[in-house]
Amino acid sequence: MRNPGDEAPTFTLRNHRDEPVSLDGIDAAYTVVYFYPRADTPGCTTEACGFRDEWDAFEAAEVAVVGISDDPVDDLAGFAEKHDLPFDLLSDPDGEVAGAYDSYGEKQPFGRTVEGTFRNTYVVDASGTIILAYEGVSPEDHAARIVDDIAALDD
């Protein structure tokens, strides 16, 4: 797990519109980089819709949000459209970026061993430093917690 104070690994990935998105190209006070296992599954939908539902608060605080999974771009496009997601979903098909964030590897869902993306979240400041880190998060109320934690940084 990466820790607050670590430099955030940079990346360029394709978004759900098949456009390149780079961490260092995001113009925001903070960027939420959240990793999730699979588009349009119950937990991942809850998490993504939580970010959508808190979108006004993120925008008011000048916070960008990107969700990263190993899903192909086409799957992300359908997920974003179905749930009216206002932020970029990024495709990391080989798990390279997730791995750089210690968010990819062996796991055992339903008793079988597979390689995949872990549900971790990082908040990165404008200088590229991780300032908040959340490991193995629960999708319920996760976005609201991040809004509160970012607000506390600025107090």
Q: Which entry of 8, 23, 44, 64 is annotated as an active-site residue?
A: 44
Burial of 74-92, coded b for 16+ CB within 10 Å and e otherwise, reads ebbbebbeeeebebbbbbb
User: Is residue 99, in this structure, part of any structural domain at all?
Assistant: yes
DSSP H helices, the chain, are 42-53, 55-60, 73-82, 96-100, 142-153
User: Is residue 36, in this structure, part of any structural domain at all?
Assistant: yes
Q: Grade residue 34 by pLDDT with cuts at 50, 70 and 90.
A: very high
Number of domains in the chain: 1
User: Is residue 67, in this structure, part of any structural domain at all?
Assistant: yes
DSSP code of residue 7: B
**Domain span including residue 111:** 12-147
Question: Can you say whether the dihedral through the CA atoms of 56, 45, 86, 118 is positive or negative?
Answer: positive
User: Is residue 131, in this structure, part of any structural domain at all?
Assistant: yes
User: Is residue 16, in this structure, part of any structural domain at all?
Assistant: yes
User: Is residue 1, in this structure, part of any structural domain at all?
Assistant: no
pLDDT reported for residue 106: 87
Interval 100-117 mean pLDDT: 87
Q: What is the distance between the alpha carbons of residues 70 and 94, in angstroms, rounded to a whole number?
A: 7
pLDDT reported for residue 113: 85
Interval 92-111 mean pLDDT: 91
Say which range, 44-48, 58-62, 88-92, 113-117, has the weakest mean pLDDT.
113-117
User: Is residue 123, in this structure, part of any structural domain at all?
Assistant: yes
Residue 45 C-beta-side C-alpha neighbours within 13 Å: 10
User: Is residue 28, in this structure, part of any structural domain at all?
Assistant: yes
Is 44 catalytic? The answer is yes
Q: Are 128 and 10 in contact (CB under 8 A)?
A: yes
Say which range, 6-20, 47-61, 106-120, has the weakest mean pLDDT.
106-120
Angle (CA) 138 42 119, round 5°: 35
Distance of CA 108 to the CA centre of its chain: 21
Q: What is the CATH number of the domain that holds 19?
A: 3.40.30.10
Name residue 72's amino acid.
Answer: P
Tokens of 73: 């771009």
